[in-house]
Structure 1
């Protein structure tokens, strides 16, 4: 260490002089606020309180409301209509007095008088398909949206209520105090949308060849809004993009459908013996003991036979769920049904798939296996999956999630063939939507406000789960793929977005409705940020511990972004304010490069810098303490010293010159470097990141060093490192493994690599 101090003294003196000049210049400027990128996030964060602690954990006074539902639902398959009657029991666990309740009516987004289409900019396209032209200019709005028939108290007395688009305010007979419960009923109906033609997160798909419909149904009932310590009532209107904020509760739901339908949904099927045939029950019992492959409960031959029936009879399926935030179900006579068991934390969970024959052979082979593998991976990264099942339902152009059930795209051609794109797309969307059982169905963030908290976190764990799946089922991969080809997660995949037009990029910390490039912003960038945090900044062990702590702290609760940020730091001892600010609060990008490399030689004679210093102060050589003088290669001073042979170019004279200043005992711990460099790194990009550097030596070996991000804390533009090496450095590469999402790699190497275009131009000049 002493040797390095002596060797670098001249450089330190030079740096000190430059720093003093800079300080003097700054003294003449006006003052400024703290713009350092390592400043704490106190301005951005709320003050901790009794509800939410500074550690990121729920506080001692944390509360959340509860909404319990009892519903009777009838689905009329002939006219595609849902009629429902529900009783909601609402519990006020807040310390506040409530005068009214807010109920969500998301189906009103599709109503004739909906304002949602009016907020979207549109224009006349020069060329359009006939169906698109007709839909845009020649079609009347369909009869959609909730028809609220009654809103009554428990005694049947009408309650005053006001509908404001997708929200309904219900006036209470008297204010609810802390601990009060209030029950009321709502009766309604609505016409189900064709989700293939009209879009939407739920609805039906019509199959013209056999005349059947497959239903994936959600947002089908008036649902309580969230009341919390952060937002009060979360009654932000549903415009179509931002998803949902919902309280937890218990559900008892009876759903009446045609007798030849196969149905499943959120919760435990309490009357399985009534709705399953004897054969289905036997197969179900077999599936409960099958851990390696799915068991068909309804096979394709049986489903194809059912397609022709169109029963006039009905059957009621009864489902009961505890501590869930929502409810969804799927039903059709076309459905094939398979299941297998997966062991999660010592208990059995059923992985389930429902799909029409149009999904085969792809779905029968892989859907349920993907469900099972996803539950294992997400449980490892967070907590043991607490529910008894997870269902994947095949639905064209869909990808949507609800507690214990989700719908997913991925359809082969009519002849059963499919491309890698279709196969991987299906596997990826199932992984993603099943993963949503964890975020936000259990770790229940506010999707209406912070889309990234469910989509981004879920996409990050999806990447981990996809890689696990590829390792577990290598036969699922195409021959050219060594790993599952995830399309989000790795750093290099977000580069085109982060390096794009700043006019069309918003910070991650933006309400989803107001976000440009929704998929990149809410899914891709936060997933990449967390992946880099795990792999490059924190390391897997510390990251995984903190991430798991966040998930366990906030399971079945309502976290905010601050709760996530604070917990990740609290559980890891990593100060990450700089990281959250850069990646989540700004649209800065990564661009770090090698600006300059200077090679130095040691001299036993004063260099130019020291000679000037001595002359200014009248210092004689014999008055100086022993010093080491470094001379830059190629400088005038270097050329002069080459003539006088005062450079200590090889190890022996250098060693002798240095060692005279140390005792024999001290010499034992001193290295013997032969080469000295000053490497300057620049940061044209605004985003602070570690500098990952690979040094390659003349003997062909290399060494990788990671300088922590804090290296930029005093200079946000460039920093230098003095390097002493026993081997000659022949090349330097920044971010050699593409870990940081660096948008411009042209400055990442020294000597600078010749681009192919430059090389081609060079060859043309030679020819000329």
Structure 2
């Protein structure tokens, strides 16, 4: 860097994004640092200002006894359940709301009615079926509702919600039992209706794989903060559910294997003696999964279709839901995981089509997820955790459905492998959020998906330090943050109203939490506070307010500015280095100062005309009468008066002042501009002339008096040659070109290609594993 006089100024163009300048009020401060105040619910005896459950916190309970039978011939189920509902609220209830999610796939579903659609020049049969949506064969067919004495109860079915009118009010502390009979046809999991539950048909062997979820009438949540959560299920906003105990009898063909939420009560009745021996071995094996039903055994079962039936009995305590899977195709493996003085059984169910990937990875990933998540929250409390290979991912207590199928020759791309590992981590991780920390997914998708995606990111990095995580690192949310503002909504938006659902509900909150952990709060403070939130709200119903308040309460970090910007706003991060000035203390002697002044003068007066006029004879040279005192005066000569004045100045200084004067300290005055609007900490890397560097971190509160521009001086002993803002890409800055001083410009490269390239859309080749195997042949 070059100095001019006492100060040095670098000039460069400052680029701006399409967002333009941050919005300025007349005050130009305080808007982004106002406390959330009335934006949060008023604390009360149920939920405190600290974010913890209050001393009078309550929640309802619903216990289920269910009998269900799977018909493998026509892909349908019929069931009967008895629900015991316990009113722990202080309120008197005159009716109950029950969720009927299967009706979302029926003929009268709201989902296709509220979905925009258009006709393209080319349309698939599946897309046309989705528009026609004449699904009389789907949805609940029989729905008898009776009280404990067998008397019919008055009900009103509104799409995916059923109101049961009670014969008399249910007072606080009272219990009401009722029964429901139902049946429905199971949808094709990969068909035009698709969805989370259903079946997949395998034409090669003529068998079905069933993933049964949202399969029984379930109690809606009645809470202190919302009353009844009876918002209709449209397919995206998932579930708000009540905790309870389950006893479920599942009748299936005798050659099927069943996995489910909870613990199998009758293994001796449904497993072979060989499988029982292997199961007992698995319960004592902690290093590698034990295969309980092998691929050879599963393939033999695929060839037959038993007409006999078996009933599998499962019990689960303190869960908010129940799901199960059934197929004769299943390979089954399991291993034990030590968890807080008890063993958790990590298990996987998968068809031969999933091998070798699933046999090698699935159960190991389940075990890793339990350990990773427990380390960051609370010890996993359930006895099992199951991963089932299916056509897409979805989560339920103790069981989840995950994709990840190799090619038919057993080879696979690294993307397929990593995708499978990620989805297993994600879906198993949902046991923590929202299966245990039981937020309302129907209203706030981000409270489970965002928090879980953040946890998934940490688990992925603990699996492999070079793991290619898609969501979590700050810079990976930049494309979304740069989107056209018309497609953006705040994170605090209802699930059904979001346009870019994945980035908004999964990636942005996960990124925000990672930024809190790594940059704003630091790991020690964040980890303690996040654990506190998880532990406070285990097996309870938290709201966003409870999360926000707890993280502040447990850390002593005021985060209202962060919640306001990241969760309630859509502004991006775009902070630019606008200007840099370099100052040094003037510790020069009179001779040094005069010499510097002469050099500056000579430079100022050195211009083109002087060069051309060098041989020109001037008036002053030819006429003595034009000369005076100043003709021979040299202002750059050091005089005795200059020396005396300097001595007096030095004598007046204290030893501390002299030390500072002679320290040769550099002072860099940097002006930062908040172009995007979202305030964030300033992280500046100083790259020194000697090749070393260091990073200074300035909290976001530096913007509190001026939210669009701030100037700060940085004293440095070493001489700085360049400055980098956000060098580790921690803040999701959408325009990194303005983060350098001097500016650094990188060329955008383009490729020269031959005109005989392959047709558009042609395959780019097989996976590397396939290529390597082909070379060996």
Give the shorter-chain TM-score range: 0.7 to 0.9
| 1:358-401, Cα deviation, whole Å (9 max, x unpaired) | 100100000000000000000000000000110000001x1100
Counterpart CA distance in 2 for 1:757 and 1:552 is 49
Work out whether residues 256 and 326 of structure 2, in 8 Å CA contact, stay in contact via their aligned partners in 1. yes
| Correspondence for 1:704 | 695
Match of 2:671 among 680, 684, 687: 680
Aligned residue pairs total 691
Give, in angstroms, the shift of residue 34 of structure 1.
8.0
Structure 1 residues 98 and 671 mapped into 2: Cα distance closer, same or farther (>3 Å)?
farther
| Correspondence for 1:320 | 315
| Correspondence for 1:612 | none
| Correspondence for 1:192 | 186
Counterpart CA distance in 1 for 2:749 and 2:181 is 72
Work out whether residues 680 and 719 of structure 1, in 8 Å CA contact, stay in contact via their aligned partners in 2. yes
Counterpart CA distance in 1 for 2:749 and 2:245 is 67
Q: State whether structure 2 residue 270 is matched by structure 1 residue 275.
A: yes
Q: State whether structure 2 residue 722 is matched by structure 1 residue 731.
A: yes
| Correspondence for 2:252 | 257
Listed as ranges, the matches of 1:177-256 within 5 Å are 177-197=171-191, 198-256=193-251
Structure 1 residues 281 and 114 mapped into 2: Cα distance closer, same or farther (>3 Å)?
same
Aligned alpha-carbon RMSD (Å): 2.9
Secondary structure of the residue that 2:332 maps to in structure 1? strand
Secondary structure of the residue that 1:95 maps to in structure 2? coil
Structure 1, unaligned runs of 5 or more: 1-6, 12-28, 472-482, 606-630, 648-652, 761-768
Give, in angstroms, the shift of residue 743 of structure 1.
0.3
Secondary structure of the residue that 2:38 maps to in structure 1? coil
Counterpart CA distance in 1 for 2:250 and 2:237 is 28
Work out whether residues 148 and 186 of structure 1, in 8 Å CA contact, stay in contact via their aligned partners in 2. no
Counterpart CA distance in 2 for 1:573 and 1:294 is 44
Secondary structure of the residue that 2:190 maps to in structure 1? helix
Structure 1 residues 758 and 132 mapped into 2: Cα distance closer, same or farther (>3 Å)?
closer
Structure 1 residues 670 and 72 mapped into 2: Cα distance closer, same or farther (>3 Å)?
farther
Structure 1 residues 352 and 644 mapped into 2: Cα distance closer, same or farther (>3 Å)?
farther
Give, in angstroms, the shift of residue 657 of structure 1.
9.0
Structure 2, unaligned runs of 5 or more: 1-5, 10-23, 589-595, 606-633, 639-643, 752-777
| Correspondence for 2:476 | 493
| 1:163-199, Cα deviation, whole Å (9 max, x unpaired) | 0000000011111111000000000100000111131
Give, in angstroms, the shift of residue 423 of structure 1.
0.5
Give, in angstroms, the shift of residue 661 of structure 1.
4.9
Counterpart CA distance in 2 for 1:320 and 1:345 is 22
Match of 2:445 among 447, 451, 460: 451
Give, in angstroms, the shift of residue 61 of structure 1.
1.0
| Correspondence for 2:744 | 753
| Correspondence for 1:143 | 137
Q: State whether structure 2 residue 407 is matched by structure 1 residue 416.
A: no
Listed as ranges, the matches of 1:317-466 within 5 Å are 317-396=312-391, 398-466=392-460
Counterpart CA distance in 1 for 2:329 and 2:497 is 39
Match of 1:586 among 553, 556, 569: 569
Counterpart CA distance in 2 for 1:654 and 1:45 is 65
| 1:404-429, Cα deviation, whole Å (9 max, x unpaired) | 00000011111111111110000000
| Correspondence for 1:692 | 683
Counterpart CA distance in 2 for 1:142 and 1:343 is 49
TM-score normalised per structure 1: 0.86
| 1:535-554, Cα deviation, whole Å (9 max, x unpaired) | 11111111000000000000
| 1:296-333, Cα deviation, whole Å (9 max, x unpaired) | 00000000000111100000000011100000000100
Counterpart CA distance in 1 for 2:127 and 2:321 is 37
Match of 2:299 among 300, 304, 316: 304
Counterpart CA distance in 2 for 1:48 and 1:74 is 47
Counterpart CA distance in 2 for 1:373 and 1:315 is 33
Structure 1 residues 391 and 655 mapped into 2: Cα distance closer, same or farther (>3 Å)?
farther
Give, in angstroms, the shift of residue 662 of structure 1.
4.6
Q: State whether structure 2 residue 734 is matched by structure 1 residue 743.
A: yes
Work out whether residues 673 and 725 of structure 1, in 8 Å CA contact, stay in contact via their aligned partners in 2. no
Structure 1 residues 394 and 60 mapped into 2: Cα distance closer, same or farther (>3 Å)?
same
| Correspondence for 1:536 | 519
Give, in angstroms, the shift of residue 671 of structure 1.
7.7
Work out whether residues 107 and 133 of structure 2, in 8 Å CA contact, stay in contact via their aligned partners in 1. no
Counterpart CA distance in 1 for 2:319 and 2:256 is 25
Give, in angstroms, the shift of residue 725 of structure 1.
2.6
| 1:139-166, Cα deviation, whole Å (9 max, x unpaired) | 7435100123310000000000000000
Counterpart CA distance in 1 for 2:308 and 2:439 is 42
Work out whether residues 604 and 657 of structure 1, in 8 Å CA contact, stay in contact via their aligned partners in 2. no
TM-score normalised per structure 2: 0.85
Listed as ranges, the matches of 1:548-567 within 5 Å are 548-567=531-550
Structure 1 residues 667 and 286 mapped into 2: Cα distance closer, same or farther (>3 Å)?
farther
| 1:248-296, Cα deviation, whole Å (9 max, x unpaired) | 0000100000000000101111101111110001101111121111100
Give, in angstroms, the shift of residue 36 of structure 1.
2.2
Structure 1 residues 659 and 551 mapped into 2: Cα distance closer, same or farther (>3 Å)?
farther
Secondary structure of the residue that 2:425 maps to in structure 1? helix
Listed as ranges, the matches of 1:619-638 within 5 Å are none
Counterpart CA distance in 1 for 2:261 and 2:648 is 80
Work out whether residues 155 and 162 of structure 2, in 8 Å CA contact, stay in contact via their aligned partners in 1. yes
Secondary structure of the residue that 2:123 maps to in structure 1? coil
Counterpart CA distance in 1 for 2:390 and 2:25 is 62
| Correspondence for 2:48 | 53
Higher relative contact order (CA 8 A, sep 6+): 2
Give, in angstroms, the shift of residue 755 of structure 1.
3.0
Work out whether residues 602 and 654 of structure 1, in 8 Å CA contact, stay in contact via their aligned partners in 2. no
Q: State whether structure 2 residue 83 is matched by structure 1 residue 88.
A: yes
| 1:496-535, Cα deviation, whole Å (9 max, x unpaired) | 0001111001100000110111000000000000011101
